[in-house]
Amino acid sequence: MALITKAVRGTRDVLPGESQELRWLERVALETAEAFGYFEIRTPVFEHTELFERSVGDTTDVVQKEMYTFRDKGDRSITLRPEGTAGVARACLEHGLLAEALPQKVSYITTCYRYEKPQSGRQREFTQFGVECFGAASPAADAELISLATTFYATVGLESYRLEINSIGCPACRAHYLDELRKYFRTREDNLCPTCLDRLDRNPMRILDCKSPICAAEAALAPRITEYLCEECAAHFTGVKTLLEQLEIPYMVNPRVVRGLDYYTRTVFEFVSELPQTDGLVIGAGGRYDGLIEELGGQHLPSLGFGLGLDRSWMHLRAAEAALPERRRCDLFLATRGETALAAAARYAFELRGDGVMALYDVTGRSLKAQMKYADKVKARFTAVLGEEELACGTAKLKHMADGSEETISLSNFAEELEQHLLHSEEASLFELFSGFESIKEDS
């Protein structure tokens, strides 16, 4: 019988085993953020469309082409979030977080939605690890933000990438640059795509971000923003570079990094994969957005943040064959003979699970032989057979599946004795679920 339907194009299912790896990435991301003083915030998956039009910019590809926008039953225009920053800024404003001690630092794991052509590393639903820092104007904040991202990458063992940075200035110095860009591109209007022709008057910097090869070729020779920075913006950018060098974080200045969202000012950056399989793929990016809070109705508040693609980071790690956590194994399988033994197994498993032990028993009515085959398939570390004889004498044989050795264990003290065996097993047990990855942190 054919499937009724398949997953919507541009989305993917995360299967057991894969979810173990992604959950580990998410955990490390949030723990890394906490070490830098960033604490988790969660915002709705959809917002009023105006929020993104005002923050992201109505000349961007995101707003013009990629947003999932619909009218709800109250005839309100609602949009699935295409990125994380705008919703987080709105939430911090709405709940008064920006009136508290500054800087206000928040982190999040969030799904985003953009209607793009699906391809390797680009889906219409994707997951980001993001952080936002509100109320910090110093270049030190920019350098610290970038160091947070590099610390996360080092912790999970992600290598083979480069950091590209740029400054796109402030509204004051950018005005002169935009005039020069218009002059340059007006001599090349015949070679621009229709979208970029529309951008020429409204925001010519968006042309630098166009994916069209023809527009990209014209943009390659365009004036560089770094040549038009005002004194303050130039000093800020120099400060960021100096601090990165002091932190020994390698970088390269790329004047073509402008990012695709209008709220950015001054520092912008991208982490770009250098693996042969994913070369050129942007795995994370961010920058400063000093005018965003004011644009959303708050007071002027220098701010900055980043979004790292967890799907892309995961793809990068897999392509590099990096160490990732294995799917969790069963700690104990209780094979049973008879209804009385089944009830006892259920009680023991319930108690063990309360202590965090992965304990399984048969719930399908298999024969004892079939139960033991199943124990092999789930790679149980230990097995024990329970029947009338074992229940009568109050003991059972605990079998170590790795070497076949057996040891008698008391049923009256079953949970405590089993947990001691798990702790002293040569294999990683429940209690060391992620300990194998501590070495990654130490090596980095």
For residue 101, give every residue at least 6 positions away whose Cβ sits within 8 Å of its Cβ, in sequence order, or none.
none
Q: Is the pLDDT of residue 76 over 50?
A: yes
Q: For the chain, give every residue range classified as CATH 3.30.930.10.
A: 18-170+230-319
Q: Is the pLDDT of residue 157 over 70?
A: yes
Domain range 332-435, CATH class: alpha beta
* Selected residue with higher pLDDT from 62 and 260: 62
Residue-wise pLDDT for 403-434, tens only, equals 888 989 888 888 887 877 777 665 544 434 33
Structure tokens at 114: 């953009």
* Selected residue with higher pLDDT from 425 and 121: 121
* Selected residue with higher pLDDT from 124 and 263: 124
Q: For the chain, give every residue range classified as CATH 3.40.50.800.
A: 332-435
Mean pLDDT of 5-26: 91
Which range is least confidently modeled, 193-202, 354-363, 364-373, 417-426?
Answer: 417-426
Residue-wise pLDDT for 368-397, tens only, equals 999 999 999 999 999 999 999 999 999 999
Structure tokens at 382: 């230990």
Give the pLDDT band of residue 189 (cuts 50, 70, 90): confident
- Phi-psi label, residue 307: left if phi above 0, alpha if psi -120 to 50, beta otherwise: beta
Which range is least confidently modeled, 205-214, 239-248, 278-287?
Answer: 205-214
For residue 21, give every residue at least 6 positions away whose Cβ sits within 8 Å of its Cβ, in sequence order, or none.
314, 317, 324, 325
Using DSSP, state whether 271 is helix, strand or coil.
Answer: strand
Contact predicate 279/226, CB 8 Å: no
Residue 53 burial by Cβ neighbours in a 10 Å radius (0-12, 13-18, 19+): middle
Give the pLDDT band of residue 200 (cuts 50, 70, 90): confident
Residue type, 276: P
Residue-wise pLDDT for 26-68, tens only, equals 999 999 999 999 999 999 999 999 999 888 876 677 777 789 9
Residue 400 burial by Cβ neighbours in a 10 Å radius (0-12, 13-18, 19+): middle
* Selected residue with higher pLDDT from 298 and 258: 298
Give the pLDDT band of residue 249 (cuts 50, 70, 90): very high
High-pLDDT (> 70) share of the chain, %: 94
Enumerate the H helices of 105-247 as residue ranges.
Answer: 139-156, 171-186, 194-202, 213-219, 231-246
Residue type, 205: M
pLDDT score for 425: 64
What does pLDDT average to over the chain?
89
Residue-wise pLDDT for 85-108, tens only, equals 999 999 999 999 999 999 999 999
Residue-wise pLDDT for 297-327, tens only, equals 999 999 999 999 999 999 999 999 888 888 8
- Phi-psi label, residue 142: left if phi above 0, alpha if psi -120 to 50, beta otherwise: alpha
For residue 410, give every residue at least 6 positions away whose Cβ sits within 8 Å of its Cβ, in sequence order, or none.
394, 395, 417
CB atoms closer than 10 angstroms to residue 2: 4
The label of the residue with tokens 């910097």 reads 205
The fold adopted by the segment(s) 18-170+230-319 is: BirA Bifunctional Protein; domain 2 (3.30.930)
